[in-house]
Amino acid sequence: MRIVSVVGTRPQLIKAAALSPALRARHEEILVDTGQHYDDAMAGSFFRELGLAQPDHALGAGGGSHAEQTAAMLRGLEPILTDRQPDVVLVYGDTNSTLAGALVASKLGLPVAHVEAGLRSFDRRMPEEINRVVADHLSRWLFAPTPTAVDNLRAEGIQDGVVLVGDLMQDLAARVGREVVDAGALRDVRLRLAESSEGIDLEPGAYLFATVHRAENREPDALRAWTALLRRVASPERPVILAIHPGTRLALERAGIRLAPDVRLVEPQGYRTSLTLQMHASAVLTDSGGVQREAAWLGVPCLILRDTTEWVEAVADSGGRMVVVGLDADKAIDALARLSPRDRASELARERTRAFDLAPAGAADAIVAALEREA
């Protein structure tokens, strides 16, 4: 088969790194990078770190509004798909790149395969929710990561082409997680960060790790709420390490909001470094779907900075370690006191690394098998 895979963001590169080797072992894959995450810090380094082949086509769509970004992708993808005439156009997740790939392929009569089909937050204010719903309804193959995702598709009348395959990101996290459980991996990260972020001293359980990037959390009221939340949970003894998305940084600057002294900014990190920082943290605070799942697999307490999450199994199966707190600082403080009390945080972090034993999901092989079975 000839497969065109459309990627454009860091989470999509992580999934592609898990799936691409299985595809290329048996089929022809053409990789298209839309450039949705368009600088080296956000995505370029991921190609090198994850061992991904360089894209066959790079659209350089860049930033702009949702309409501007998606329009640039539509214009760039159409001639590529027309020329290549693939048997499958494969899209990942819920981004504008996903939407553009699914739209162009379906307009050209090319079959679409959607990895991470069926996820729903049931919040149409989220651009990602719109993207994933549209992609699902245009797809021939719907590769669902969870049983709930299958149920969501069935509730929308979609049953043909639905395959429960597990989570691609779990396959990669299982491999890399074993490489970063040792405290030496954290020491390496500390040395690298010290070159660009003065005063960051990382020890197991002695810091909180945070990411905030969702569009709804860049609105002025939300910015004030989550920065206040981070101010209240941070302290000199347990600072917050915030990996700052460029869009979030710009939103803070425009709003004139300054972060608390004990909230330490670092640039977006590579996959291995991000997994290391999560593994050894006292807890993780995030609005990212990918980071939520990684924290769940690593066994790290995770506070979800949203009112809803599409990863309901991760929360339900976490034994209370994952908590949807929204932007409520009181809820966050209560959850941290229960899940990672300061007097035991280092001990708990070390226990967690010793107990780490994550099995791969086998999602990549399941996806290739489904494509071959029904092509």
Active-site residue list: 213
Q: How far apart are alpha carbons 62 and 8 in whole angstroms? A: 10
Dihedral (CA of 96, 50, 306, 221) sign: negative
> Phi and psi of 141, rounded to 5°?
-110, 130
Q: Could you give the CA distance from residue 118 to residue 330 in angstroms, rounded to a whole number? A: 33
Q: What SS3 class is residue 322? A: strand
In the chain, count H helices and then E strands.
16, 13
Number of other CB atoms surrounding residue 184 within 10 Å: 9
d(CA 298, CA 373): 33
DSSP label at residue 90: E
Q: Which of 316, 329, 321 is nearest to 302 (CA)?
A: 321
DSSP 8-state code for residue 126: S
CA separation for the pair 305, 12 (Å, rounded): 21
| Ranges of H-type helices in the chain | 10-24, 45-50, 66-84, 96-107, 127-138, 147-155, 168-180, 183-194, 220-233, 246-255, 271-279, 289-298, 312-316, 329-339, 345-355, 363-374
Q: How far is CA 319 from CA 281, 284, 313, 357, in A?
A: 18, 16, 11, 16
25-50 in b/e burial notation, b at 16+ Cβ within 10 A? eebebbbbbbbbbbeeebbebbbebb
In angstroms, rounded to a whole number, what is the distance separating the alpha carbons of residues 99 and 163?
20
d(CA 135, CA 155): 16
Tell me how far apart the alpha carbons of residues 163 and 161 are, in angstroms, rounded to a whole number: 6
